[in-house]
Amino acid sequence: MVITGEYEGFKIFEPAPEIIPESRIKVDESIRANRKYLAELPSEKKQEPVRPITGTFIYAHPPDYTGSYTLNWSVADWCKAFDGLKAKNIDTVVLQASVWNELQQVYYPSKKFSHFNSWNVVEPMLEAAKMQKMTVFLGGYGSISGWNLNINDKEVLKEIEFQSDCFYELLKYRELFDGIYYSPETAFRGQRDLQREQRLHWIYQTYFQKIKEIAPEKKILMSPASRWYPDKQDEFIASWQALLKDVPLDILSPQDSIGCSGCSLGNMSGMWNLWKCVADTAGITLWANIELFEREDFGGAKPFRSATPERIIEQCRNVTPYVQKCICWEALYFDLPKL
C-alpha cells in the first residue's frame, strides 16, 4: 500500500509505520559506521584523487520530502537556480519525473494525464536550461513499478503504455533536452527473483527500444539503488546482467545509497566493482549518483539533512576509479561542498 502525506499543497510518499523501527536501526548503524570510517581514514587515502560532482537531479518537488519548491517557478527562477548550479561546476541536470503516477501529479500540459493535479514545471525549466546551456536529461513517467515485488503481466503492459504515452507527449520539447531519464527505481534485494527480473527486463527492453526507434539521438539514463550484500556478489551481477541484456541503455548511474543506508563508505569499493562489471559487460557508460543527504527522521516534510562535506568528498573519492562522471541527489536543496 502506498502511503502519502500532503505538505505545502502537494503529496509526497511517506514510509509505512511498520517498517520504521527496523529501518531506524539500520540507518543509525550506517551513520555510526560512516562516522567511524571517516574518523579512522588514513592520511594517504585523503591524497587520492576525487572526481568532482558535475551534475544534479532537479524536480518539480522531491517524491518523499518537500525540498526546494519549484512547482510555480518562472523561467527567471530557473535561470537563477541554474546560475547557482553552474557556479558549483554543475553542467548537467536530470529532471526526476514529468509525471508521478501514485502521487497523481503531472508537471507539463498533458492530455494523457489531464486527470492528475497539474503544474507547468517542464516548460519554464527547459527554456531556462537552453538559455543557460545546461545538458538536460528529462525524466518521464514516474512510478513505483521497480519496487513492486509481485508485478504481473498486466501491470507490465500498463507500465509500458504509460511510459510511452508520456514520452510521446514530451517529444514536443525534443529540441530542448539531450536525453531521457527512466524515472522508476529498483534494486537487487539480496536474492534472485527470475520472474520479476523477466518482467522488469520486458519493460526496459520494450520501452527503451521505442525511444531509440523514435529519437535515436537521445541518451537513456537510469539510476538504480545500491544495496550491499557481501555474500551475494555473483547473484547481484547475474541479476543485473539479466535485467539489462540487449537493453539499449546508454548510461547507468547507480545511487551510491550512502544517504539512505543501502551501502556504507567502507563497502563502496566492493559495491562499485560490481557496478563496473555490470556496466562493462553490457557496454554501458558508468556514472555515480552521489547522495548529499543523511536521514534524520521518517516521514514528515523534512526527514533529511545535508551530509557533512567530509562524507560527500569521500563518497566521490571512492567512486573515482570506476566512473566517468558524478552526479548527485540533489543540489537544489542539500549542500554541495567544494571538491
Express each pLDDT in 252-268 by its tens digit: 999 999 999 999 999 99
H helices of 120-232, where?
Answer: 122-132, 153-170, 194-214
Mean pLDDT (whole number) for 231-236? 98
Query: What is the DSSP-derived secondary structure letter of residue 307?
Result: P
Name the band, by pLDDT with cuts 50, 70 and 90, for residue 1: low
C-alpha distances in Å from residue 218, one per residue of 108, 180, 210, 251: 20, 7, 11, 11
Name the band, by pLDDT with cuts 50, 70 and 90, for residue 338: confident
Kindly report the backbone phi and psi dihedral angles of residue 205, in degrees, each rounded to the nearest multiple of 5, phi listed first.
-65, -45
What separation, in Å, do the N-terminal and C-terminal C-alpha atoms of the chain show? 41
User: What kind of fold does domain 4-329 have according to CATH?
Assistant: TIM Barrel (3.20.20)
The domain ranges of the chain are 4-329
Express each pLDDT in 266-283 by its tens digit: 999 999 999 999 999 999
Sheet containing 55-58: which strands, arranged edge to edge?
55-58, 92-95, 135-139, 179-182, 219-222, 251-252, 285-286
Question: From CA 156, how far away is CA 200, in angstroms rounded?
Answer: 8
Using CA atoms of 274, 278, 281, 282 in order, give the dihedral in degrees to the nearest 10: -170
Taking the model in full, what pTM does it have?
0.97
Express each pLDDT in 170-195 by its tens digit: 999 999 999 999 999 999 999 999 99
Q: Is the peptide bond before 330 cis (omega within 30 degrees of 0)?
A: yes
Question: Residue 2 pLDDT more than 90?
Answer: no
C-alpha cell of 140?
A: 518521464
C-alpha cell of 115?
A: 486527470
Kindly report the backbone phi and psi dihedral angles of residue 155, in degrees, each rounded to the nearest multiple of 5, phi listed first.
-70, -35
Of 309, 154, 73, 166, the closest CA to residue 328 belongs to 309
Percent of the chain with pLDDT over 70: 100
Question: Residue 318 pLDDT more than 70?
Answer: yes
C-alpha cell of 274?
A: 560490481
pLDDT at 156: 98
C-alpha cell of 104?
A: 497523481
Mean of per-residue pLDDT scores for the chain: 97
Residue pair 270/241 in contact by the 8 Å Cβ criterion: no
Residue pair 19/304 in contact by the 8 Å Cβ criterion: no
Mean pLDDT (whole number) for 164-174? 99
Express each pLDDT in 89-113 by its tens digit: 999 999 999 999 999 999 999 999 9
Type of residue at 142 = G
Express each pLDDT in 38-70 by its tens digit: 999 999 998 999 999 999 999 999 999 999 989
Type of residue at 210 = K
